[in-house]
Amino acid sequence: MVPALRTYYNEQFTTGKYQAFLESLAHETGEGPAFRVAETPVFVPAALTSKLIQACEEIVEVILRPDFKALTEDAIPPSLKVAGENEHPHFLIIDFAVCRQENGELAPQLIELQGFPTLFAFQELMARQYREHFAIPPTVDNFFNQLNSDSYFNLLRELIIGPYDPKEVILLEVKPDAQKTRIDFYYTQQQLGITPVCVTELIQEGAKLYYLRNGEKTLIKRMYNRLIFDDLLRQKESLGALPDLFQHLDVEWITHPNWFYRISKYMLPLIHSEFAPKSWYLHKLPVIPADLEHYVLKPLFSYAGQGVIIDVTQADIDNIKDPENWILQHKVQYAPVIYTPSGPAHCEIRMMYIWQDGSPRPLLVHNLARISKGKMIGVSNNNQDTWVGGSCCFFEQ
């Protein structure tokens, strides 16, 4: 999207450099990514960067509303509500499509958002390896707010570990070694010293939780939560006996599971911005639009694009038995703004925030990008294409 950098990058690219880049990712973590990593980063021009930050801060203002919890109380399924919720999420991620306005300028359009962590560790590694293997110039940066790799991990360490010994903090997930994002877990462990632990390995004694660390029963004081509770319940029968994570526990959640639902697609109809497509709760829709081809249907309680209906018809709406659990959103037209040797691609940009306890608002720290040449953006799609997949952005300074 920065023409001079795109041209230079494409001209300098070789498959040998790309393979060396992938090998470096695997060398640092002990295993290569289980998802496709794109051949290129995304170069974001300053004007688009400014719009992205403006859009994010407008969304943050909605979250800061004093009545936000009341507005989002119905976002949490009653069966998935966890005790001990804190006052704000420790993580906030906001996804935007890169689009082109009528005047030809690039602009973001909100796709989704979550009060849940993403690949906070791996994205630093990916950006650093792009820079090392492809001579990314110093005029662009992957960080925000004057951060660098050291200060970035210092912030994550303070947020996730805090005053505790790293052995008293775990990364919680279902079968972490089987997750496609496991490379992030391994790199988090390297950088912060915390162990990925499967929920089945937790030992519960009253309100306290323990895990076995090198065979020794160890008290857990904090859990860096990567566990999605509706996913956990879907697998419950195959997992066997589990601790009761819904009760009040003598442990700190980073971040608390309820924020996954509060800050989610449920929020979309509450956001009014030129960078957010109009959205309605389906059961509150005043009238069904005649031009349904310009809308998408999204289930509120799903993740990773599951259940999204892109080409909406009246029959799709008629077949929905629980309209209170769906939203109708004006369709976003991605622009093919990334020019690659195998054809143009479009992308989503994820802006990544952390929110320290005691801070008045979250802090923008890093980013993630996903590049695609198909209708669906996720890195599990378009696996037959090249120059697509997970990536990161370098923002023009």
Q: Residue 52: which residues within 8 A CB-CB, separation 6 or more?
A: 44, 96, 108, 349, 351
Q: What is the residue extent of each domain of the chain?
A: 1-81+95-146+261-277+332-397, 161-254
pLDDT score, position 240: 87
What is the per-residue pLDDT across 330-355, written as a single tens digit (0 to 9) for each?
999 999 999 999 999 999 999 999 99
Q: What is the DSSP string of 25-56?
A: HHHHHSS--SSPBPSS-EEE-HHHHHHHHHHH
Task: Write out the CATH class of domain 161-254.
Answer: alpha beta
Under 8 Å between Cβ of 142 and 392: yes
Burial of 92: CB neighbours in 10 Å, binned 0-12, 13-18, 19+: buried
pLDDT of residue 26: 97
Per-residue confidence in pLDDT tens, the chain, 397 aa: 899 999 999 999 999 999 999 999 999 999 999 999 999 999 999 999 999 999 999 999 999 999 999 999 999 988 899 999 999 999 999 999 999 999 999 999 999 999 999 999 999 999 999 999 998 999 999 999 999 999 999 999 999 999 999 999 999 999 999 999 999 999 999 999 999 999 999 999 999 999 999 999 999 999 999 999 888 888 888 898 899 999 999 999 999 999 999 999 999 999 999 999 999 999 999 899 989 999 999 988 766 567 889 889 999 999 999 999 899 999 999 999 999 999 999 999 999 999 999 999 999 999 999 999 986 565 555 567 899 999 999 999 8
Q: What is the pLDDT of residue 56?
A: 98
Q: Which of 305, 292, 385, 301 is nearest to 338 (CA)?
A: 385
* pLDDT of amino acid 380: 53
Phi and psi, residue 10, nearest 5°: -60, -40
Torsion of CA 22, 24, 30, 31, to 10 degrees: 0
CA 10, 15, 18, 20 torsion: positive or negative?
negative
pTM across the whole model = 0.94
